[in-house]
Amino acid sequence: MKEKILNLNITKDFLTTIGGQNAPEVVKVCLEKNKDITDEEISKKIPLKITEIRTILNQLHYRGIACYNKAKTKRSGWYNYTWTIKTKRIAELLLEQKAEEINRMEKRQELEKNYEQFACPGKCTQMAFEIAAEYQFKCPECGKQMNIIDNRKIARESKQKIESIKREVNVLKKVV
């Protein structure tokens, strides 16, 4: 299930926004080990500098996604950090974010569906039915007859996008 979350596009996008383009890979390596992992171990699997890996882990830590344990090493007496990824936290943050996004998209889709827009064939203007009617459907810029815009394609595309997010959200819900 943990790996499944990571395969979702919304998860990859989300981790990239937080920790940069290599963040999903770092999280993947951590989850594959499935227990505490040191940044040295991570750096053996990903061609990144250890400082870059630490930066990513710190950014993930800031959002509560990665947490660390500090232990003194017997040999050097230095501190050794081991990291764990909180998959549940990723799911929680994402669900919160996606709920807002779906809400926003559905509202916009309602508007796209309900409001007829008129546009000038010369592309000078685009306006709602009520305003276009005031101009007798003639472009106020150039005087050409304005045409109704077919919103069905746009509405269909938004609907598909919303549905695909909802599908991924349902996968996430099983983790929380």
Size of the site for Zn ion (CB under 5 A): 7
Q: Quick one: 116 or 157, whose CB is closer to Zn ion?
A: 116
Q: Quick one: 4 or 138, whose CB is closer to Zn ion?
A: 138
Q: Quick one: 71 or 142, whose CB is closer to Zn ion?
A: 142
Provide, rounded to whole angstroms, the least separation between the CB of residue 20 and Zn ion: 45
x-or-dash string of contact with Zn ion, 76-105, rule CB under 5 A: ------------------------------
| Closest among 19, 111, 104 to 64, alpha carbons compared | 19
Contacts (Cβ under 8 Å, ≥6 apart) of 4: 171
Provide, rounded to whole angstroms, the least separation between the CB of residue 120 and Zn ion: 3
x-or-dash string of contact with Zn ion, 118-147, rule CB under 5 A: --x-x-x--------------x-xx-x---
Provide, rounded to whole angstroms, the least separation between the CB of residue 142 and Zn ion: 3
Site residues (CB under 5 A) for Zn ion? 120, 122, 124, 139, 141-142, 144
